[in-house]
Chain A
Amino acid sequence: MSLNRRSFLVSGASALALLGVAAAWPVRALAKLVRPEAAFTATNVNDAIAGIGGAAETSAEIVFQTPEIAENGAVVPVSVTSNLPGTDQISILVEANPNPLVAVFSIPEGTLPTVQTRVKVAQTCNLTAVVRANGKNYSVSRETKVTLGGCGG
């Protein structure tokens, strides 16, 4: 009898767990970022920016940290922090790369609008951060000098 009760409880608990997973799915699907394929395959900065929402206004509210001189273009640390309210997307572009768009980050509510990563930079050029806040794009650019390119062997 007690065994029956236990197995009943266990099956009930696993059914509940399954329900929980099922309920979480649609939310996740909605929040999913759609890959801007055209922007990733674009070969110049303007096309790439057009692919992620178009013309961007320069803003001093974006803190974009890049090294002035990168000894190794294959590993260039970059950090983007947006002080614009309503920031929900941060993108990083490297002008001289064969495909300038490097990364697009989607920032949901509750996540701080700051990301840090490392990128490849082919040669000395401008790096641009594009931030989408309240449906509008803002950008800031900084030049990084590369002494050793990121496309070598």
Chain B
Amino acid sequence: MGNPMRIRATIKGDTTEVKVLMSHPMETGQRKDSAGAVVPAHFITTVVAHHNDREVLSAEWGAAVSQNPFLQFSFKGGAAGDKVKVSWTDNKGDTRTDEVALA
């Protein structure tokens, strides 16, 4: 299931700025542990963000996005009470969705 994301969405004039901090190890599959065994790759591959039901951003990621990924973007519109929803899926098929309401 993964750990919860921290999402902060702020209305700035006629746009909404969204900052997301995801909780994920983002293992590249190139690193070795102390015993010398390769740590298997485990990273977020797809991120999708919605404003209410409208898709406002989608992303495909490789393993080189940093651990506990940070993402910031902005979209036009957004009013108090609107929902901003962010979902990710990783290479092991795990997925997590979190949602915040605009203040």
Contact = CB atoms under 8 A, between A and B. Distances in A.
Interface of A: 20, 24, 28, 31-33, 35-36, 40, 74-77, 79, 94, 97-99, 101-108, 110-112, 114-121, 150-153
Interface of B is mostly: strand
Given A98-B30, A102-B61, A116-B72, A111 B56 contact: yes
B60 A35 contact: yes
A23 B14 CA distance: 27
Contacts of A153: 31-33
A24 B51 CA distance: 13
Nearest to A94: B64
Interface string B27-55: 01011110000000000011000000111
Contact of A112 (B46, B64, B69, B74): B74
Q: Interface extent on B, as a size class?
A: 20 to 34
Contacts of B71: 115-117
Contacts of B59: 33, 103-106, 115
30 contacts: A20-B53, A24-B53, A33-B60, A35-B46, A74-B67, A97-B64, A102-B62, A102-B65, A103-B59, A103-B60, A105-B73, A108-B56, A110-B75, A110-B76, A110-B77, A111-B73, A112-B75, A112-B76, A114-B74, A115-B57, A115-B71, A115-B72, A116-B71, A116-B73, A117-B70, A117-B72, A118-B66, A119-B66, A150-B64, A153-B33
B63 interface: yes
Contacts of A115: 57, 59, 71-73
B23 interface: no
A28 B45 contact: no
Contacts of A20: 53
B95 interface: no
Contact of B75 (A35, A111, A116, A119): A111
